[in-house]
Amino acid sequence: MRIISKGQYLYRSILILILILQKALASEIDNVNLQVTRYIDKSWSLLTRDNWVQSSEDPKLLTDELIVYLPKDENIKAVRQKNIKCSQIKFKYLPRDYTQIKKHGLLFLPYPYIVPGGRFNEMYAWDSFFIELGLLNNNRFTLAKGMVDNLIYEVLNYGTILNANRTYYLGRTQPPVLTEMILAYYQKDPNKLWLKSTLPAIKKLYHFWTSPPHAIPNIGLSRYYSDGEGPTPEESPLYYEKVLNYFKTHSITDYDKKLFYDNQHNKLTRFFYIADRTIRESGFDITAKYGPFGIGILDYAPVDLNVLLYKMERDTQKIYEILGDSKEAMLWKDRANIRVNNINRYLWDESTGYYLDYDFKKKKRKFYPFVTTFYPLWAGIASKEQAAAVVRHLPDLLKKGGIVTSLNNSGLQWDAPFGWAPMQYFAVLGLEKYGYKKFAIEIAGKFINTVNSGFQKNHAIFEKYDVNTLSTRTDNKIKYSYATNEIGFGWTNGVYLVFSKFLEQSTSVKD
């Protein structure tokens, strides 16, 4: 008979206790994951806008009328007849010159759509990509296709994909992800007739991004550029007062302050407002990576935009290959090859191992470590050596709750300490593509845990998170522009579902 010492007994007891606790913890995590995924599935209905009364309400702008503007080729009589019960809505044609609009309103879209949540009660451009991924994960195919078709409708009827479908967003777009959305839906429903029908919008959108003022002369890359007069209607006047005071009291080395601030009259210039609208067009509203308030953005070829355009070129090549048009496919392949050479020439920084935005006026890259350094991995642009160099920065960028947006705590929401679902997505998929699956799993797991933590405390999903502390509170950390953290939230929902599936598949492979 074997005699077990007290020490051995205690050791075994501790091991058993640890195993019990691990199983209990795993069960608790699984339970939270289930709660969150159920919440997301139910939230799509709450975030769906399929009637004009609900859609027209705008928490960002007080109005005394609910107006829906239609493009000139839309049948306004048919729209009015279809919505005859919406007596409080005024349907009007959009003026040829949208700057003449006296009262802002909603822009007509033909299909129901998902809004992000909170104060954002309209369909947003690049949010829609991550929302679509979530809808496809939840088998809501009709709604997902409607989102894609709405963006195509915007290109054909409003000239481009809009920041969102409000009149005050006319003239401003967001990062281009249309072809990603088209192919994501096509994978679920391989209808070649529909796929072919998307090509006119793709070509028109591509021309928009590769022509002045977006095209940068001589370097074969593009920039963000949004025209417009005065403050953006959706922004609080307090923001512009704070910016004015900052310019008045601070010296600035990142850009020529005189272009944006009239010291003699103590006012912001027209050029400032163009730059302000442009930083919002970038989707990073607001970050200090182009200097205070991002106002130097007009002089930069950004990593993110040009990688997305490369991906658009590759996606369009793939679409033509699916349709059997090898000649057009080769044309788009050549465009992609030219762009990737220019990305490597101007945006890759060998000395730091980062992809950096390029100041084409000063003819140099700006050192500002930012999460967009993972975009080239996501798109498959990086060489193995470049990818390895980017990965070496993970100890700086990876925090307790996921990837941090930048290393600069600027008091702006698109900088430290915040992490955003789309940025986690690009990092995780990029790392996985280059064989760094362990890191991809770690980031996905951390972000899932961050969302779960916020859900347990608030029973909600949020726009962004403090990835240092896993906190959903932002009002005490954001000094400029809106400081709230909106609930919903469309793109967080989508990325959460993508990561849940990714982690589940990774675990099953291990098993």
Q: Which residues are catalytic?
A: 285, 463
Contact partners, residue 313, CB within 8 Å, separation at least 6: 206, 332, 333, 335, 336, 339
Q: Using omega within 30 degrees of 0 as the cis cutoff, is the peptide bond preceding 213 cis?
A: yes
**Contacts by 351-354, CB closer than 8 A, 24 or more apart:** 353/386, 353/389, 353/390, 353/392, 353/393, 354/389, 354/390, 354/393
Per this entry, what is the length of the chain? 511
Burial 111-130 (b: 16+ CB within 10 A, else e): ebbbbbbbbbbbbbbbbbbb
- Reading phi first (left if > 0) and then psi (alpha if -120 to 50, else beta), residue 470 is in left
Q: Sign (positive/negative) of CA torsion 257, 261, 264, 270?
A: positive
Helix (H, G, I), strand (E, B) or coil at 413: coil
Q: Sign (positive/negative) of CA torsion 322, 133, 181, 43?
A: positive
Q: Using omega within 30 degrees of 0 as the cis cutoff, is the peptide bond preceding 286 cis?
A: yes
| Phi, psi for 37 (deg, rounded to 5) | -65, -35
Contact yes or no for 379/310 (Cβ under 8 A): yes
For residue 107, give the H/E element and its range.
strand 106-107
Name residue 249's amino acid.
T
Look up tokens 């003239």; give the residue: 171
Helix (H, G, I), strand (E, B) or coil at 106: strand
Burial 64-75 (b: 16+ CB within 10 A, else e): eebbbbbbeebe
3-state SS string for 421-474: HHHHHHHHHHHHHCCCHHHHHHHHHHHHHHHHHHHHHHCCCECEEECCCCECCC
Can you read off the two tokens belonging to residue 161?
Answer: 């994909």
d(CA 430, CA 308): 13
